[in-house]
Chains A and B, each alone.
Chain A
């Protein structure tokens, strides 16, 4: 009977994915992508992967939606003030069909290859459940009670460490592209009273719920990345409300916050090596405490990186808008 839900969900998601790619209007695409993210979160729930569902919900609903909407600004051509109808602005220009044949062939071939690899990967899953049994057996030594957190922050801590590094690299890419000036703009617009109330109300909720998700990661689904998106949302909200948070704190503090998670992980790894262990092999007695510290510092760093990515991209666009005459 519950297969009815799954079938309906699958149909809706495939339809959404096709529509999202084929729709002629970019703004429609953004909204369809948001809906697709929601469907994906529901699908993860049906598959029993609640950790992934929370991450998907946080990133698709919060961060990516705002980033895409922001990107729409720079895709839009010059608009006259009179033009109220936003719909037609985002229409893509029609191209010559002939020039698109080669990219399409390459795309189809690539997708076919990807599908083949995916099918192969699904086929190759061993019957015994892979490493599940050995991970479960070592769970008491890991310092946490939730197997996903144990794998992410203890057994495969190296991967998580590099993941934090990848987000930092993304931010460096934004910096290199020219968005490093984080000064406060002198002619900033007046704060909207309603937006101010919303921010005053939502910020504590976001902070508390993020902290809750961070702490609950010890015993159930949740953890640093999910908490980081919620905390990053605070930064983005403040930025949208005309209070660029990184323009208010000194530069060294900003850099310290950004690199704190990666740095603590690294120093801890070296200290463990100096103690005669391997990299990220925590002593079982302190494992729980160490994981909590790593997760907290990592979450703050990731949240700061997400906010900075958004703020810098936003600022780059504002600068381009100033240079180009918008009539």
Chain B
């Protein structure tokens, strides 16, 4: 069972590494934002898998913290975006 947890975590980490390509290249700002959100989600998945692997349920608190705060970045970015585009004064 432990091997299973480790393989899943490594797979998810590799997903993050692949996503980095989009942050680096990302033609538009939205691509980068979505990649960052993908990082958040994948990171949560890794935390949940690690919670099973280490038998440490408090890791779920870390995952929830990420989850509830991820929305702030999106809203903040959309606000900056709007001001730059001149939609709002």
Query: Which residues of A line the B interface, CB within 8 A?
Result: 1-2, 4-5, 8-9, 12, 15-16, 19, 23, 27-28, 31-32, 34-35, 38-39, 41-42, 45-46, 50, 53-54, 57-58, 61-63, 65-66, 69-70, 72-73, 76, 79, 81, 84-87, 89, 187, 189, 195, 198, 202, 205-206, 209, 213, 216, 220-222, 226, 229-230, 233, 236-237, 240
Contact = CB atoms under 8 A, between A and B. Distances in A.
> Which 6 residue pairs are nearest across A and B when measured between Cβ atoms?
A62-B69, A81-B86, A66-B76, A65-B73, A69-B76, A57-B65
Interface string B12-50: 011011001001101111001101100110010011001
Interface residues of B, number: 53
Contacts of B43: 38, 41-42
B72 A41 contact: no
B39 to A, nearest CB: 5
Contact of A31 (B9, B35, B50, B88): B35
B2 interface: yes
B20 A16 contact: yes
Interface of B: 2-3, 6, 9-10, 13-14, 16-17, 20, 23-24, 26-29, 32-33, 35-36, 39-40, 43, 46-47, 50, 53, 56, 58-59, 61-62, 64-66, 68-73, 75-77, 79-81, 83-86, 88-89
A140 B14 CA distance: 44
25 contacts: A1-B2, A1-B6, A2-B2, A2-B6, A5-B9, A8-B17, A12-B20, A19-B24, A32-B23, A34-B73, A35-B36, A38-B43, A41-B62, A42-B43, A46-B50, A50-B62, A57-B62, A61-B72, A65-B72, A86-B81, A87-B27, A189-B88, A213-B65, A222-B58, A237-B75
B10 A8 contact: yes
Consensus secondary structure, chain A interface: helix
A86 B39 contact: no
A35 B20 contact: yes
Contacts of A240: 75-76, 79
Contacts of B33: 31
A272 B7 CA distance: 54
A12 B17 contact: yes
Given A69-B79, A226-B65, A230-B69, 13 more contacts: A5-B10, A15-B20, A23-B24, A28-B24, A38-B39, A58-B69, A66-B73, A84-B85, A86-B29, A189-B89, A206-B68, A222-B61, A230-B65
A31 B2 CA distance: 33
